[in-house]
């Protein structure tokens, strides 16, 4: 199981669940790539056991929401234009 966190600018209850949504996730797995951020298309659920990975939601100023959510990463999205890579 991989652990991620993300920041919600509004209320977590307003987040679309069980639909593909594009968000910024931050990898919390210990090691060299800890805290690596990426844009990703994901499916979210407030049910901690629904999807294979764990997501720790935070509010806009960084406060923990308190309960872990589950997340399935559909794919990572590269926002950098091809000409700039």
- Between 32 and 71, the more confident residue is 71
Residue 41 belongs to domain spanning = 3-84
Cβ contact 44:15 at 8 Å: yes
- The tally of domains found in the chain comes to 1
69-77 vs 53-59, strand pairing mode: antiparallel
pLDDT at 3 over 80: yes
The Cα-based distances of 54 to 10, 82, 83 in angstroms read 20, 31, 34
When pLDDT is cut at 50, 70 and 90, the band that residue 81 belongs to is confident
Q: Which of 16-37 are b and which e, b meaning 16 or more Cβ less than 10 Å from the residue's Cβ? A: eeeeeeebebbbeeeeeeeeee
Q: Output DSSP code: residue 30.
A: S
pLDDT at 85 over 80: no
Model pLDDT for residues 4-55, shown as the tens digit of each residue? 999 988 888 888 899 999 999 999 989 888 899 999 999 999 999 999 999 9
């Amino acid at each position: 199981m991989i652990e991620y966190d993300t920041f919600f600018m509004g209320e977590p209850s307003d987040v679309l669940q069980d639909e593909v949504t594009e968000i910024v996730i931050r990898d919390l797995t210990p090691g060299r790539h800890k805290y690596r951020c990426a844009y990703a298309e994901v499916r979210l659920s407030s049910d901690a056991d629904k999807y294979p990975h764990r997501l720790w939601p935070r509010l806009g100023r960084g406060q923990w929401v308190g309960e872990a959510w589950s997340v399935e990463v559909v794919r990572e999205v590269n926002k950098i234009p091809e000409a700039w890579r």
